[in-house]
Structure 1
């Protein structure tokens, strides 16, 4: 039976999604069923699996398998689940984003409403031009583009991301805030509070230590923590985030997966922690210290695909 959800955008059930990195290569139809079983409304999706696959799921390609696309679309519709984020649009030197037009068509076919992009190209102007081109291509398919930053990327921090969004100068090019990357880039919740809230179109939620623990940044990001299990100021970040923003749980826990913990158990624990965190914030009164700001966003609504 299809899952039923509240239409109030401020409810936790309506805001939470599961990102594809969290499920380590789980094939898309099974991914949709996992989200439905856990009462989650959104998923972030890539067209192929991740290189880290500790559960040894069979490889898949939504790009090369039309039958899989049909089954995925059917599962999404039957379970009332939306693809809130399409991944895989990294700007790289020597590659033209226009060659990704077919990938955009596939995400549009699956009902995706926004695409994530970032850059590994050190040429700032080329990054601006390529993200602008991607935004224009997405707009013709009723999708927006969100720009992600991380210390390991050539868009390393919030000012760098904002400079690109300003240069692109399209209303459908906005910010993706990953809580781990945001803090590790040296930022504070007050930096988000100072922004025009309409710039924030998507939030990826995870917890961790304040400082890197592993030998490499990537290794560290593959072993994140559920909300409130780490040191990040998540409540303060959520307080500055528009209340209609989709919150994708990007919480890969590679070591736990290698030790035999199932994706179902991991994701259920993370969702429970996120719901508790959000509900705690919702209980605070407007006059309480740290109360959530009533900030409205004109971010694209994932149910209708319209502003």
Structure 2
């Protein structure tokens, strides 16, 4: 969604945080016009004003991708814009098949982010250079910075072969952010990224052990909802209804979690 409208939607649904990249997703449905917070300082000012007025802030800055043949150092300007928008945490993934180079790039990114008051998380996903939880933990260890931590995406973690028991064994301090979605345990769509980017499921409507996962994660972290529902959007279901279903389901899940004694 365009940034100011997105802020308003979050506030209308009683959410205090959003995540965003600086530009619209190139794969976005055509129902939304493109935008660029990078190139449009007026839009940045309008978004900052909207966030201030509606008590919404950006919990995660997206789009800091390590790519083969590119230098993450060239993205310092984007980090400065994120800082201008009040971002305190950015997320990264790598599309560079060279793991050692990816780790070097992660370290440079984390150092640059820290100089602007931001911490960094790394996200593991099947099909990416960091494909699973063990790989992500090794990357965090090798980067070796307390402000470089793990983003736990429930779909990616479970689909890559880990589960609540694996997460329970982690030092809670290594986890920096949580992204919640549901999915079937056996893929319903042949291509993993097609499903992950466009057709996840509302919490509680799939088969992931979400309550057991959340039970062992720190409870002082922001939980983002990364639940793309492209088919519903293209069928004309509006953003308030689409996102509202996800918010309501997540709150119901957290209410059930709160009724459990915390074991972690």
Structure 2-normalised TM-score?
0.98
Q: Counterparts of 2:106 and 2:5 in 1: how far apart (Å)?
A: 32
Higher helix share: 2
Q: What residue in structure 2 maps to residue 71 of structure 1?
A: 46
1:198-256 Cα distance to aligned partner (Å, 9 max, x none): 11110000001002111211221111111101000000000011010110000001111
Q: Counterparts of 1:122 and 1:55 in 2: how far apart (Å)?
A: 31
Q: What residue in structure 1 maps to residue 102 of structure 2?
A: 127
Deviation >4 Å, runs of 4+: none
Question: What secondary structure sits across from 1:73 in the alignment?
Answer: helix
1:108-147 Cα distance to aligned partner (Å, 9 max, x none): 0010011100111111111111000000000011100000
Which residue, 236, 240, 250 being the options, matches 2:212? 236
Q: Counterparts of 1:51 and 1:228 in 2: how far apart (Å)?
A: 29
1:251 and 2:227 correspond? yes
Task: Note the residue ranges of structure 2 that are not aligned, 5 or more in a row.
Answer: none
Question: What secondary structure sits across from 1:85 in the alignment?
Answer: strand
Contact in 2 for aligned 1:144/1:172 (Cα 8 Å): yes
RMSD: 0.9
Which residue, 52, 57, 64 being the options, matches 1:89? 64
Q: Counterparts of 1:55 and 1:273 in 2: how far apart (Å)?
A: 27
Q: What residue in structure 2 maps to residue 147 of structure 1?
A: 122
Q: Counterparts of 2:28 and 2:113 in 1: how far apart (Å)?
A: 30
Contact in 2 for aligned 1:223/1:251 (Cα 8 Å): yes
Q: For residues 14-53 of structure 1, what are the structure 2 equivalents within 5 Å? A: 26-53=1-28
Contact in 2 for aligned 1:55/1:257 (Cα 8 Å): no
Q: Counterparts of 1:89 and 1:79 in 2: how far apart (Å)?
A: 26
Deviation at residue 259 of structure 1 after TM alignment: 1.0
Q: Counterparts of 1:180 and 1:139 in 2: how far apart (Å)?
A: 28
Q: Counterparts of 1:76 and 1:104 in 2: how far apart (Å)?
A: 19
Question: What secondary structure sits across from 1:277 in the alignment?
Answer: helix
Which residue, 127, 131, 137 being the options, matches 2:112? 137
Q: Counterparts of 1:213 and 1:30 in 2: how far apart (Å)?
A: 32
Q: For residues 1-307 of structure 1, what are the structure 2 equivalents within 5 Å? A: 26-54=1-29, 56-221=31-196, 222-284=198-260, 286=261, 292-293=262-263, 295=264
Deviation at residue 55 of structure 1 after TM alignment: 5.3
Q: Counterparts of 2:240 and 2:49 in 1: how far apart (Å)?
A: 21
Paired positions, count: 263
Deviation at residue 263 of structure 1 after TM alignment: 1.1
Deviation at residue 58 of structure 1 after TM alignment: 1.4
Question: What secondary structure sits across from 1:125 in the alignment?
Answer: helix
1:73-115 Cα distance to aligned partner (Å, 9 max, x none): 1111111111000011111110000100010001000100111
Q: What residue in structure 2 maps to residue 17 of structure 1?
A: none
Question: What secondary structure sits across from 1:34 in the alignment?
Answer: helix
